[in-house]
Amino acid sequence: MKKLYLIGGGGHCKSCIDVIEKSGEFAIAGIFDVASEVGKKVLNYPIIDIDQNIPKYVNEDSFFLITVGQIKSPNLRIKLFEMNLNFATVISPRAYVSKHAKVGLGTIVMHDALINAGAVIGSNCIINSKTLIEHDSLIGNHCHISTGSIINGDCIIGERTFIGSNSTIKNGQKIEAGSLISYGEKA
């Protein structure tokens, strides 16, 4: 298995750990977080160091995944992604990703998500549990598509966008970059 470091030890990290464990592709080597959390554990995985020391852990055999969540702002996830590490793309074995779809670097596709043919998912995205991304839709970089959301066919979701849980984006819609679609909203 490939060695994987996680960046961020909060609630989203726990959900990511569950997906990573189920995938069987990566062995979690440790978690980075703030200084006050070093030495603690998240689901029995140690918080080993702070974000500023990540470069000490970089080598050709190590992969990284940003496990900081994204609700109010993607800025921290973007800042971490700009470190240009060897980012892993993680796809739950319980997700369906069409062989005709593309998923970008550093993106996680959570349990029971569906990504259909022709869909393109950008880098550093969270495709959360039970999300549906329909055919030919484009999800920009640094987006969080929350639990149970539906992105219908031929949609364009601009980068840095947050789509709230149980939202529905109707066929052919364009959502501007940096948008916030609230819980249950229809667009």
Amino acid 186: pLDDT: 81
State the CB neighbour count (10 A cutoff) for residue 36: 9
Long-range contacts of 137-146 (CB under 8 A, 24+ apart): 140/177, 141/104, 142/70, 142/74, 142/77, 142/78, 142/81, 143/74, 144/69, 144/70, 144/71, 144/74, 146/183
pLDDT for 70 equals 87
pLDDT, average across residues 14-37: 96
Instruction: Give the pLDDT mean for 87-102.
Output: 98
Confidence at residue 172, expressed as pLDDT on a 0 to 100 scale: 97
Strand ranges across the sheet with 162-163: 90-91, 108-109, 126-127, 144-145, 162-163, 180-181
Residue 183 is predicted with a pLDDT of 84
**What is the pLDDT, as a whole number, of residue 19?**
97
Length of the chain: 187
Q: What token pair was written down for 174?
A: 């364009």
Residue 103 pLDDT: 98
Architecture of domain 89-187: 3 Solenoid (2.160)
Full-model pTM = 0.95
Above 80 in pLDDT, residue 72? no
Show me where the domains of the chain are located. 2-81, 89-187
CB burial of 6-22 (b: ≥16 within 10 Å; e: otherwise) equals bbbbeebbebbbebbee
In order of 49, 59, 118, 136, the CA distances from 144 in angstroms are: 26, 28, 19, 18
Mean pLDDT calculated for residue range 16-44: 96
Predicted local confidence at residue 71, as pLDDT: 78
> Quick one: pLDDT band at residue 153, thresholds 50, 70, 90?
very high
**Mean of the per-residue pLDDT values of the chain:** 96
What percentage of the chain has pLDDT greater than the value 90?
A: 93
CATH fold for domain 2-81: Rossmann fold (3.40.50)
- State yes or no: pLDDT of 35 exceeds 90: yes
pLDDT at 187 over 80: no
Contact (CB, 8 A) for 71 and 162? yes
- pLDDT-based confidence at 56, cuts 50/70/90? very high
Q: What percent of the chain has pLDDT over 70?
A: 100
